Amino acid sequence: MKILVAVKRVIDYNVQIRVKEDGTGVVTDNVKMSSNPPDDNAIEEAVKIKESGKASEIIAITVGEEKSQETVRKALAVGADRGILVKAEGIIEPLAVAKVLQKIVDKEKPDLVFMGKQAIDDDCNQTGQMLSALLNWPQATFASKIEIKDKALEVTREIDEGLETIEVNIPAIVTCDLRLNEPRYASLPNIMKAKKKPLEILNASDLGVDTAPRVQQIKVEEPPKRKAGIKVANVAELVNKLKNEAKVI
């Protein structure tokens, strides 16, 4: 079994996001970038499956600028066998990524495609679902547990009401939740080995995918500053304020 895992390079989750003065986006200059955290879970799960003998190859893929290679290298350092960078510039929307992944799936013929449930930069949570539609494959989103059955997966999903367990036939798309596993550290010898693993670089345009945005971004602005809180004397006052001042109950 072959697993394709999609990863994304995003602003590190510890960095305080700043909006550009002209409202065209957020500041990325001089900002630490990292791999998207749920994508780390996706890679970890693929590596665990391979270690259990149920997968033979893991391919890590990303779509983005040249520097996104770092994110693929990190995946290689924790156990992916080879990497693919599909180069594309500017804002790349989920649909464009899904179309690129569709082309790669056609070429590589994986049995499973894993990725994070969403990216922490745009919080779209769309790519997996769109890819599922494009390929006409079943999808299991927000996975917090994956069990491999014969030609099927039993997946536990994190949903608002609690946990839902579903079965999907292979080939399938799985988007991974942070609860799925604890990603391992890349060890120093493995980082060195990862530098020598194959990493193929393609252009989105060569795959025949137009990655130009379909959505026009009008303005990015900071959320309004929160006002300082006040202390209330008792429950009656709280209820009164919620009712008459905040008008929320």
Partner 1 sequence: MPREAMDYDVVIVGGGPSGLSTAIKLKQLDPELNVCLLEKASEIGAHILSGNVFETRALDELFPNWKDLNTPIKTKVSKEKFLFLSKTKSLSWPTWLLPSVQQNHKNYIISLANLCRWLAEQAEALGVEIFPGFPASEILYNEDGSVKGVATQDMGIDKDGNKKESYEPGIELNGKVTVFAEGCRGHLGKELIKKFELDKGKDPQQYGIGFKEIWEVADDKHEEGMVMHTAGWPLDNNTYGGSFIYHAENKQIFLGYVIGLDYKNPYLSPFDEFQRFKTHPAIKKIIEGGKRISYGARALIEGGLQSLPKMYMPGALLVGCDAGTLNMPKIKGSHTAMKSGMIAAETIFEHLKNNNNLSVYENKFKNSWVYKELYQARNVKPSFSWGLILGIIFTGLDQILFRGKLPLTLKHKHADHETLKSAKSMPKIDYPKPDNIITFDKTSSVYLTGTNHTDNQPVHLKLKDPNLPINYTLEKFDEPAQRYCPVGVYEVQKENGINKFVINSQNCIHCKTCDIKEPSQNITWVTPEGGGGPKYGNM
List the one residue from 1, 15, 170, 199 that touches partner 1 (CB under 8 A). Answer: 15
* Contact range with partner 1 by CB under 8 A, out of 96-104, 119-127, 164-172, 185-193: 185-193
**Residue 196 binds partner 1, judged by CB under 8 A:** no
Q: Contacts with partner 1 in 26-45 (CB under 8 A)?
A: 29-32, 34
Report the DSSP pairing between strands 82-87 and 57-64. parallel
8 A C-beta contact, residue 180 and residue 145: yes
- Per CB under 8 A, the list member of 38, 83, 94, 183 interacting with partner 1 is 183
Q: Which stretch binds partner 1 (CB under 8 A): 15-23, 49-57, 88-96, 140-148?
A: 15-23
Angle at 216 between CA 38 and CA 123, to 5 degrees: 15
Contact between 18 and partner 1 by CB under 8 A: the answer reads yes
Taking the complex as a whole, the smallest distance from the CB of residue 27 to partner 1 amounts, in Å, to: 8
Q: Which run of H or of E encompasses 57? A: strand 57-64
Indicate the residue among 182 and 221 with the shorter CB distance to partner 1: 182
Q: C-alpha angle 105/213/68, rounded to 5°?
A: 55
Interface with partner 1 (CB under 8 A), residue from 154, 191, 197, 241: 191
CA dist 151 → 1, 25, 55, 174, 238 (Å): 10, 44, 12, 15, 57
Please, what is the minimum distance in Å from the beta carbon of residue 187 to partner 1? 5
Residue 182 in the binding site for partner 1 (CB under 8 A): yes
φ, ψ at 205 (rounded to 5°): -65, -35
* Span near partner 1 by CB under 8 A; candidates 13-21, 98-106, 143-151, 199-207: 13-21
Residues in contact with partner 1, counted by CB under 8 A, come to a total of 20
CA 150 to CA 117: how far, in whole Å? 24
Cβ neighbours of residue 35 closer than 8 Å, sequence gap 6 or more: 7, 8, 9, 10, 71, 74, 75
Question: How does 29-48 read in b/e, with b if 16+ C-beta sit within 10 Å?
Answer: eeeeebbbebbbbbbbbbbb
Among 52, 150, 151, 188, binds partner 1 (CB under 8 A): 188
Q: Does 221 bind partner 1 (CB under 8 A)?
A: no
Q: Footprint of partner 1 on this chain (CB under 8 A)?
A: 12, 14-16, 18, 21, 29-32, 34, 182-185, 187-189, 191-192
